[in-house]
Amino acid sequence: MNVLVINAGSSSLKYQLLNPDTGELLAKGLCERIGIDGKFTYKPQLPGKEKLDAADVAMPTHSEAIKAVLDALVDPVNGVVASMKEIDAVGHRVVHGGEKFAASVVINDDVMRAIEECNPLAPLHNPANIIGIKACQALMPGVPMVAVFDTAFHQTMPPVAYTYALPYEYYEKDKVRRYGFHGTSHKYVAQRAADMLGKPIENLKLISCHLGNGSSVTAINGGKSVDTSMGFTPLAGVPMGTRSGDLDAGILEYLMNKYGMNITEMLTVLNKKSGVQGVSGVSSDFRDLGSAAAQGNKRAELAIDMFNYGVKKYIGAYAAAMGGVDAIIFTAGVGENDANQRMAIASGLEFMGVKMDEDANKVRGEERVISAADSKVKVLLIPTNEELMIAMDTASLVK
Ligand code: AMP
């Protein structure tokens, strides 16, 4: 059985074609900078097949990105399957399942409607996920599709962590509560961390930092999510590529009155024009920010510093929440690739037993311990693998 896994984010789309029974990976790749200047990577894992690394690929939307993926997979020369018939199912990462979805589900018309109803909860993501599902359905009629939700892992949070200090009926009647996101990723890296440390996950207190275009930090006690930085929507928590993260809600009234904005316009500012993009005025991409900061751009430097400071504060908060921490995990685009940012976040935490190994930290995208041998708290670099978890869930549902 081959499962195509589609992970459509706000500006990037990761894909893998894999066999969930054997774990064999047939091909993987990445569409990056969607809506900017499209970069397409295709890495077939079969002998004799050549990879493709193309810049400036026209990808104004996610539809063109998925079309490029399917064309590459069935390409007569470098494809890994003879035709679409060899793709048995598609597993889609879907960001927000609200309270409707506590587990993965086979997609049908009712499920599509229910996912669409969750769009206001994740305005940057659910629409991209839906475009991904619809593009696949159009190109692959009859192939079963499964939705795997980012909110599921966080359903173990206790009320003290997920309840907002609002009139209680907003929770009871309207289900306004912290949901949390990136659940598949946090769950995967937590399990890998336990394997790397050679300890049962039940005995570990972990803080997982998923740092990418969207970022979240999660406290995982005994393998269960007990708190997480994103909230009712993925707008909360640390500053992100274009999202503000946590802020004083009083700012909304002040700015809306001053500039005559309605709530939709205000939320567009908070979701699409804020974060490191808003502060720097340069880019939402941390690579662009790093280059600008290196050339002396003070606002780019401030944006990076604010992001790192925000993550550091969550680490401190979650160590307090759990009464300690055994390991801190870095994952996702920034967490896996940017040694400077990992160092900036983890330095200054020596008081709580975190001691980095500067040389070990000079690495990208590789599972590795990056703290010093005598560090009380281990710091781990773990590339996330949401795709494998999604493929396994998909296979178990469609079989
Ligand atoms: P993600 O949302 O996980 O795909 O992460 C996207 C973010 O990771 C973007 O801001 C990228 O700039 C950042 N990123 C990806 N590769 C690198 C790298 N080599 N160095 C620094 N940041 C990177």
Residue 205 pLDDT: 98
- Nearest-5° angle of CA 45, CA 48, CA 53? 60
Name the 3-class secondary structure at 293.
helix
Distance 79 CA to ligand 1 centre (A): 27
- Decide if 3-149 and 199-381 have a common fold: yes
| Residue 124 pLDDT > 80 | no
Residue 66 pLDDT: 87
CB crowding 267-292: b at 16 or more within 10 Å, else e? bebbbbebbbbbbbebbbbbebbbeb
Q: Give domain 3-149's CATH architecture.
A: 2-Layer Sandwich (3.30)
Residue 224 pLDDT: 95
Task: Report the mean per-residue pLDDT for the chain.
Answer: 94
| Residue 7 pLDDT > 90 | no
Instruction: Give me the active site residues, please.
Output: 150
Mean pLDDT of 214-235: 96
Mean pLDDT of 145-171: 95
| Residue 10 pLDDT > 80 | no
Residue having the nearest C-alpha atom to atom 23 of ligand 1: 334
Residue 389 pLDDT: 87
> Which among 361, 364, 327 is positioned nearest to 344, based on CA atoms?
361
Distance 336 CA to ligand 1 centre (A): 8
Give the relative orientation of helices 126-139 and 62-73 as an angle to the nearest 10 degrees.
40
Q: Which residue has the higher pLDDT, 135 or 295?
A: 295
| Residue 145 pLDDT > 90 | yes
| Residue 9 pLDDT > 80 | no
Task: Give me the residue spans of the domains in the chain.
Answer: 3-149, 199-381
As a whole number of angstroms, the distance between CA 353 and CA 361 comes to 17
Residue having the nearest C-alpha atom to atom 17 of ligand 1: 337
Assess contact for 27 and 229: CB atoms under 8 A. no
Mean pLDDT of 203-207: 98
| Residue 331 pLDDT > 80 | yes
Q: Which of 93-97, 129-133, 211-215 has the highest mean pLDDT?
A: 211-215
Percent of the chain with pLDDT over 90: 79
Residue from 337, 343, 381, 387 to probe ligand 1 pocket by mutation (most atoms less than 8 Å from CB) = 337
Residue 219 pLDDT: 98
| Residue 128 pLDDT > 90 | no
Residue from 53, 125, 213 to probe ligand 1 pocket by mutation (most atoms less than 8 Å from CB) = 213
pTM of the full predicted structure? 0.84
Assess contact for 158 and 85: CB atoms under 8 A. no
Q: Tokens 């493709």 map to which residue?
A: 52
Residue from 210, 287, 366, 386 to probe ligand 1 pocket by mutation (most atoms less than 8 Å from CB) = 287
Least confident segment among 48-57, 73-82, 98-107, 315-324:
98-107
Least confident segment among 27-31, 59-63, 108-112:
59-63
Ligand 1 neighbours, Cβ below 6 Å, are 9, 12, 212-214, 241, 285-287, 332-334, 337-338
Give the relative orientation of helices 183-197 and 386-398 as an angle to the nearest 10 degrees.
110
Distance 56 CA to ligand 1 centre (A): 18
Mean pLDDT of 17-29: 93
| Residue 62 pLDDT > 90 | no
Residue 135 pLDDT: 81
Residues 259-318 have pLDDT tens digits of: 999 999 999 999 999 999 999 999 999 999 999 999 999 999 999 999 999 999 999 999
Distance 16 CA to ligand 1 centre (A): 18
Distance 60 CA to ligand 1 centre (A): 19
> Which among 327, 358, 326, 321 is positioned nearest to 342, based on CA atoms?
358
Tally: H helices and E strands in the chain: 14, 14
Assess contact for 157 and 226: CB atoms under 8 A. yes
Q: Give domain 199-381's CATH architecture.
A: 2-Layer Sandwich (3.30)
- When pLDDT is cut at 50, 70 and 90, the band that residue 139 belongs to is confident
As a whole number of angstroms, the distance between CA 325 and CA 247 comes to 26
Residue 183 exposed, middle or buried by CB count within 10 Å (0-12, 13-18, 19+): buried
| Residue 380 pLDDT > 90 | yes
